[in-house]
C-alpha cells in the first residue's frame, strides 16, 4: 500500500526506562507496525532496529539545554508524517503521561482529525529505584509516594516539593539533578539530616550508577556527579533498603573520625 493510501494515525508508545527490554509487548508490536517513528532522547536506540531501514526515524528529543525542536514543531511533524505516511509511532522514554507532554500532542493531533492511541510504558520513577532494590512503599516505613519534578517552568521550586517533604511519604524527584543540593536543603527544613537519599543515573542501562547517603551528606556525595545526565532522586527511609546503604554510611562515619 502506498503511503498516501494509508490512514493517518498516531500511537504514543512508552519505551520504558533505559534498556530496550523494558518496553511492553504492545509497544513493541506498535513499533514494528509503524510507517514512521518520532523518538525521544532517553529511548534505547536499539529499539529502532525493530523497524525497517526504509521507515523514517526522526529524532525529536529534548535534553537540558539541547532541544532539537520545540513542542510546536514536534506537533506539526506528527501531523505531517501521519498524513504523508500513515501510522506514526511517537516513542517516548518511560511512560508517555509522566512529564511527557503527551496531552498537548494528543490535543493537537485530534484537532486535526487524527486518531491517537496510547500504549503505557514502565515509568522510570518506579522501575529505576526498584532495580536498585529501593521500594516505593514498605509496611511500617512508607505507605505512599510522591512523584514530582523539582521545579516549575519559571525555575522556582514546585509547591508540591514542600508539601511532600512535610509528609511521611517517599519522594521521587525527576529532572532535579542539577539542583540536588538545593533540593536536599529544602527537604531538610522538614525532615532530619539523617533522612536517606539516593541518586540513580543511567537507570536500567549497563552503566547505571547509584549513590546513597543522607541529606547531611549531599555536599560531599554529589560533587562529582555529571549534572548534564538525568537521574532519579529518591528521598525517604525506603532508601535504607538499598544493599549498600548501611555499609557506605558506616564507612563515611569511620572515615570522618580518622
Q: What residues are annotated to the active site?
A: 40, 62, 175
Q: Is 173 helix (H, G, I), strand (E, B) or coil?
A: strand
Dihedral-angle region of residue 99 (phi above 0 means left; psi in -120 to 50 means alpha; beta otherwise): left
From 152, 159, 209, 205, select the one nearest 175 (Cα to Cα).
Answer: 152
- Burial label for 52, CB within 10 Å (0-12, 13-18, 19+), is exposed
d(CA 44, CA 47): 6
Helices (H), the chain: 25-32, 71-85, 102-111, 124-131, 159-166, 180-188, 218-221, 245-257
Decide if 238 contacts 212 (C-beta within 8 A): no
Q: Which three cell numbers stand for residue 3?
A: 503511503
Q: Which three cell numbers stand for residue 243?
A: 544493599
Decide if 68 contacts 16 (C-beta within 8 A): no
Amino acid at each position: 500500500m502506498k503511503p498516501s493510501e494509508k490512514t493517518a494515525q498516531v500511537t504514543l508508545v512508552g519505551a520504558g526506562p533505559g534498556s530496550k527490554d523494558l518496553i511492553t509487548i504492545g509497544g513493541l508490536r506498535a513499533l514494528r507496525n509503524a510507517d514512521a517513528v518520532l523518538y525521544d532522547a532517553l529511548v534505547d536506540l536499539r529499539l529502532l532496529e525493530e523497524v525497517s531501514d526504509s521507515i523514517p526515524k526522526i529524532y525529536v528529543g529534548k535534553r537540558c539545554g539541547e532541544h532539537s525542536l520545540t513542542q510546536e514543531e514536534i506537533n506539526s511533524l506528527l501531523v505531517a508524517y501521519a498524513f504523508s505516511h500513515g501510522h506514526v509511532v511517537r516513542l517516548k522514554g518511560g511512560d508517555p503521561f509522566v512529564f511527557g507532554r503527551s496531552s498537548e500532542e494528543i490535543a493537537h493531533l485530534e484537532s486535526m482529525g487524527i486518531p491517537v492511541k496510547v500504549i503505557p510504558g514502565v515509568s522510570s520513577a518506579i522501575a529505576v529505584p526498584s532495580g536498585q532494590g529501593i521500594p516505593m512503599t514498605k509496611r511500617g516505613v512508607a505507605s505512599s509516594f510522591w512523584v514530582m519534578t523539582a521545579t516549575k517552568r519559571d525555575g522556582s521550586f514546585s509547591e508540591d516539593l514542600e508539601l511532600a517533604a512535610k509528609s511521611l511519604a517517599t519522594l521521587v524527584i525527576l529532572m532535579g539533578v542539577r539542583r540536588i543540593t538545593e533540593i536536599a536543603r529544602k527537604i531538610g527544613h522538614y525532615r532530619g539530616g539523617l533522612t536517606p537519599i539516593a541518586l540513580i543515573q543511567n537507570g536500567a542501562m549497563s552503566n547505571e550508577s547509584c549513590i546513597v547517603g543522607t541529606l547531611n551528606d549531599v555536599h560531599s556525595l554529589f560533587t562529582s556527579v555529571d549534572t548534564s545526565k538525568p537521574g532519579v532522586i529518591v528521598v525517604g527511609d525506603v532508601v535504607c533498603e538499598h544493599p549498600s546503604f548501611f555499609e557506605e554510611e558506616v564507612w563515611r562515619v569511620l572515615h570522618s573520625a580518622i
